[in-house]
Amino acid sequence: MEEYIDKIDLEARRKSAEAIRKVFLKLIDQIKKGEEPRLVIKKRTLANTIYDPAKKMLLLGESKAVRRFFDEGEVKKFMQTVLMASIIYDALVNNEYPTIRDLYYRGKHTIPKLSESDKEINTWDEQDESDAVLRDVEVLTNKLREEMLILSKEKGKVVGDMRIRSGRDVIDLSKMGHGAYAIESTADLIEFLDVNAEFVLVVEKDAVFQQLHRIGFWRKMKCLLVTSAGQPDRATRRFVRRLNEELKLPVYVVADSDPYGFYIYSVFKIGSITLSYESERLATPSARFLGVMMSDVFGDDPPIEELQTSILGNTVDRKALKKRYVEVLRKYGYKKSLDKKPFLSEEERKMFIIRAKQQDIARAIELVGTSVVKDILGFEPKISVKGKGERVKRHPGYPWFRDPRWIKEISIFLYTLAKLEIEAMASKGLKFLAFEYLPSKIETGDYID
């Protein structure tokens, strides 16, 4: 049977194999010169992760680690990196499509002992270890694993009036029935043929994505509808970035109204700390947070009298907080009038809101920082995350959440200790969510960018 080899895949293989080959040629050159073999890799650490306010994304800094073959403390990492690169190179030149799990198994073995007194050493024990080595190879070669045709589980989906080419096939995303196109791992190998859409709507929840698809939201609103099905995978982030960058489509993100939903949005927009070396190819700095906002639930005048103080570990003076709310917003540069009306009535709020837990407050502290939360409440909350048995440590917060609009949303969250899932808006009525709530927010510019 004739072997099928896609030309686009072949070109991707050639470029990635060449990138790995250059690394090995440098090692060979060092050995020929009688030098110690060494690898120089940018450090994938929090200390070497920086936020670039001009590019509006997380980037890897310039601090580097040198892995030396004759350094007892570095030789294992040196060996792991070379081993992983060689496995990937072999897969590339042999037209294979390994998964991340395959790489773990292909490289996992015990190194033979040289003497009876030696300890047995494994190349790696758990997949977390081999995954970290894979990320090092990405940094070392400046090639994403997707560019090296390493496959992972498909997670994100898209539907809309668009035609794409994947391999030899042309796929019409407007003719997927009640289903949707699963965004492939190698999102860069998708060719955009034509599109009839004015924006992209990314929905955190797959269930809400399905509801909007069934009701014809993307047809009526002339958009591409995407779901990340929770925390976004790399393929979905890359696909959304390409839609924005190459097709110039504005991107709006809809997530739960809680600190975890806010963070999922920031991963689309800014990137993630763990994968900061990929941000320039995965993040979409112009992405807008459409909702659900805390101010959508409560308006700009949150009912502080509903605040439950026990979870904060302190007694709260509610009258003082009412005054503090305005003072804090002014302090951090909020200049708009506080006259936004909620989309939910008081009765609907009672039906739909969920009470926040300590881990939700801990995530809020992580987003804006301990000092900002102290400004908002007038004291530092005593929070302990269940299961960890320790008080949440002080956190400097993330610079991109120091925007006064985010401080307003976090303030309302802390004053009400409430959160709301996207599904609650659909529970009020799917037509309300699809054809009132979402369109009105886009039309009026009620989003955070």
Query: Which residues make Cβ contacts (< 8 Å) with residue 122, sequence separation at least 6?
Result: 108, 109, 110, 111
Is 134 in the same domain as 169? no
* Residue 436 in domain: no
Cα angle for residues 280, 53, 251 (degrees, 5° grid): 55
**pLDDT value at residue 160:** 93
Is 301 in the same domain as 401? yes
Domain closes at, from 107, 141, 175: 141
Is 96 in the same domain as 198? no
Give me the long-range contacts of 40-44 (CB less than 8 A, separation at least 24): 40/64, 40/65, 40/66, 40/67, 41/65, 41/67, 41/81, 41/136, 41/139, 41/140, 42/139, 42/277, 44/135, 44/136, 44/139, 44/274, 44/276, 44/277
Residue that wins the pLDDT comparison between 449 and 4: 449
Average pLDDT over residues 298-308: 71
Average pLDDT over residues 276-283: 72
* Residue 433 in domain: no
Please identify which of the residues 89, 97, 104, 105 carries the catalytic annotation. Answer: 105
**pLDDT value at residue 308:** 52
**pLDDT value at residue 279:** 66
Average pLDDT over residues 125-130: 87
Is 182 in the same domain as 124? no
**pLDDT value at residue 275:** 61
Is 256 in the same domain as 340? no
Read off the CATH number of the domain in which 65 is found: 1.10.10.10
Is 11 in the same domain as 105? yes
For the stretch 8-26, pLDDT in tens is: 778 888 888 999 999 889 8
Going by the DSSP 8-state scheme, the letter that residue 112 receives in this structure is: P
Average pLDDT over residues 112-138: 81
Read off the CATH number of the domain in which 239 is found: 3.40.1360.10
For the stretch 338-383, pLDDT in tens is: 888 888 888 888 888 888 888 888 888 888 888 888 888 877 777 7
Is 256 in the same domain as 312? no
* Residue 274 in domain: no
Residue 1's pLDDT band (cuts 50, 70, 90): very low
Structural domain containing residue 170 = 157-267
**pLDDT value at residue 339:** 83
* Residue 152 in domain: no
* Residue 314 in domain: yes
Q: How many of the other CB atoms lie within 10 Å of CB of 437? A: 22
* Residue 389 in domain: yes
Residue 310: pLDDT over 60: no
Q: What is the mean pLDDT of the chain?
A: 84
Count CA atoms within 13 Å of residue 5 on its CB side: 13
Is 302 in the same domain as 261? no
Residue 224: pLDDT over 90: yes
Average pLDDT over residues 74-102: 88
Residue 223's pLDDT band (cuts 50, 70, 90): very high
Residue 222's pLDDT band (cuts 50, 70, 90): very high
Is 301 in the same domain as 405? yes
Count CA atoms within 13 Å of residue 298 on its CB side: 26
Residue 443's pLDDT band (cuts 50, 70, 90): very high
Is 182 in the same domain as 253? yes
Residue 127: pLDDT over 60: yes
Alpha-carbon span 113 to 352, nearest angstrom? 62
* Residue 442 in domain: no
**pLDDT value at residue 389:** 42
**pLDDT value at residue 440:** 92
Instruction: Tell how strand 223-227 and strand 199-203 pair up.
Output: parallel
Residue 104 annotated as catalytic: no
Going by the DSSP 8-state scheme, the letter that residue 99 receives in this structure is: B
Query: What is the rounded radius of gyration, in angstroms, for the C-alpha atoms of the chain?
Result: 25
Residue 201's pLDDT band (cuts 50, 70, 90): very high
Percent of all residues in the chain with a pLDDT value above 90, rounded to a whole number: 20
Task: Name the domain count of the chain.
Answer: 3
Using omega within 30 degrees of 0 as the cis cutoff, is the peptide bond preceding 326 cis? no
- The angle, 0 to 180 degrees and rounded to 10, between the axes of the packed helices 404-416 and 259-269 is 160
With beta carbons less than 8 A apart as the criterion, state whether 292 and 257 touch. yes
With beta carbons less than 8 A apart as the criterion, state whether 56 and 285 touch. yes
Going by the DSSP 8-state scheme, the letter that residue 366 receives in this structure is: H
Residue 390: pLDDT over 70: no
Map residue 287 onto helix, strand or coil. coil
Alpha-carbon span 147 to 160, nearest angstrom? 26
Percent of all residues in the chain with a pLDDT value above 70, rounded to a whole number: 90
Alpha-carbon span 202 to 395, nearest angstrom? 29
**pLDDT value at residue 439:** 93
Alpha-carbon span 282 to 275, nearest angstrom? 9
Is 263 in the same domain as 311? no
Is 300 in the same domain as 376? yes
* Residue 206 in domain: yes
Average pLDDT over residues 220-243: 90
- The angle, 0 to 180 degrees and rounded to 10, between the axes of the packed helices 75-93 and 100-107 is 120
**pLDDT value at residue 125:** 85
**pLDDT value at residue 438:** 93
